[in-house]
Chains A and B, each alone.
Chain A
C-alpha cells in the first residue's frame, strides 16, 4: 500500500467507524424493526383486561356529533371502565395505552379524555368510567371535517401493556406489546347523520 492510499484510509477510517457505530446503535435500539401493527389477543367488549398497573374494560363505542356543550365535530366516543392498580395517583390514562382504530377508515385525530364533571386524574384502586373522545374523520388541511361516506359497523380498540423502566434519574412506565384487541360495534348517535 502506498503512502497516498494509507493516508486516504486513515482519513476515512474514523468517519466510517462513526457511521457504523451509529447504525449499530440504531439497530440495537430497534430502529430497523418492522413498524408495529396491532395484532394481539382478541378480547370481547365488557371483558376486563388486566395490565401491569391497570384494569381496563372496553364497554361501548359511539359516533356522536354533539355532547353536553352542544353540537360539534363528528367524534367517536369510547366508554371504558378503568382502575389504576399502581400506588400513586396519575394525571390521566397514558397516551398510546388505548388506541382507537377504524378498520378501512382514516386514523382518528389524537385527542383527550373527556369525563364531564370529572378530570382525567386517576387514583389508586378507584374504579371509574373514563371516556376517550376522538375526532373522526380527521380534519383536512383546511381544518374542515370531511363528510363520512359509510359509517363503519365496528371499530377496534388496541390496548397495550406497559413495562416499569427504572432509569438512573426517573422511574417511568413505557408502552409494551399489545395486550388486547377489542372489536366492538359502533353505535351511531348522531343527531344529524
Chain B
C-alpha cells in the first residue's frame, strides 16, 4: 500500500513538472500581452506606468555631455525623449525598452548614453529621459518604441506601450550632433 502511495506521489510530481514545461514552452509567443498603441505625444498606459514620447530625432552624431567627443555612426542614431508616470510601483525601464523595426529586429538602447535614461521613478513621480538607438538607415521606416512592463515571477496579463515614432526613410537627419538632455524626476502633476 505504501509503495503504491510512493509511486502515486512520484507520478503526481512528474505530472506537475510536465504541466509547467508545457505551460512555459514558447513563452515569448505565449505571454498574454496586449499593446497600447499610441503616437508621439500621446500617452499609453500599462498597469504600473503611463508613458509618452516627447520628441524623436535622428542623426549620425550624439553629444553625451560637454566633456566628451560626439559619438559618430555610419548607421543612424534614433534619439527618443520619454516621460513616464509611475502608478503603484517604481519604474526603472531596465532592460524593458526596445526599438522594433518592421523587419522584426529589436534594438536595445545604446549603453554609452545610459546616463540620459529616465531615472528610477517611484510611485507618484514622473521621470523624463532619453534613449538612443543605433539602427540601419533602411530600417527607420515604421519603427516603433516598446516600453514593456516589468516581467514578474508569475506570468500575468499586462500591456506594453507601443509608440509609432513616425519615422520614414525620408526623415531628415539632424546635421549637427544631437545634444542629450539631463534626465529629470518630478512629482506627477
Contact = CB atoms under 8 A, between A and B. Distances in A.
Interface string A116-132: 01110101111000000
A99 B73 CA distance: 28
Contact of A118 (B21, B105, B112): B112
Contacts of B105: 87-88, 124-125
Contact of B107 (A89, A118, A119, A171): A89
A60 B104 CA distance: 34
Nearest to A124: B105
Contacts of A89: 106-108
A124 B134 CA distance: 9
Nearest to B104: A87
B187 interface: no
Contacts of A168: 21, 24-25
B136 A125 contact: yes
B73 to A, nearest CB: 8
B interface: dominant SS: mixed
A117 B136 contact: no
Contacts of B13: none
B71 interface: yes
B114 to A, nearest CB: 9
Interface string A144-176: 000000000000000000000000110100000
A124 B108 CA distance: 10
B106 A88 contact: yes
Contacts of B110: 119, 121
Contacts of A121: 108, 110-111
Contacts of B27: 169
Interface string A26-52: 000000000000000000000000000
Contact of A119 (B69, B104, B106, B111): B111
B135 interface: yes
Contacts of B133: 123
Nearest to A118: B112
A128 B133 CA distance: 15
Given A87-B105, A117-B112, A121-B108, A126 B24 contact: no
Nearest to B23: A168
A117 B107 contact: no
Contact of A126 (B25, B69, B106, B136): B136
Interface in A81-135: 87-89, 117-119, 121, 123-126
B31 interface: no
Given A117-B112, A123-B133, 4 more contacts: A87-B105, A121-B110, A124-B106, A168-B25
The 10 closest A-B pairs by CB, nearest first: A89-B108, A119-B111, A88-B106, A124-B105, A168-B21, A87-B105, A126-B75, A123-B134, A125-B136, A123-B107
25 contacts: A88-B105, A88-B106, A88-B108, A89-B106, A89-B107, A117-B68, A117-B69, A117-B71, A117-B112, A118-B71, A118-B112, A119-B110, A119-B111, A119-B112, A121-B108, A123-B107, A123-B108, A124-B105, A124-B107, A125-B139, A126-B73, A168-B21, A168-B25, A169-B27, A171-B28
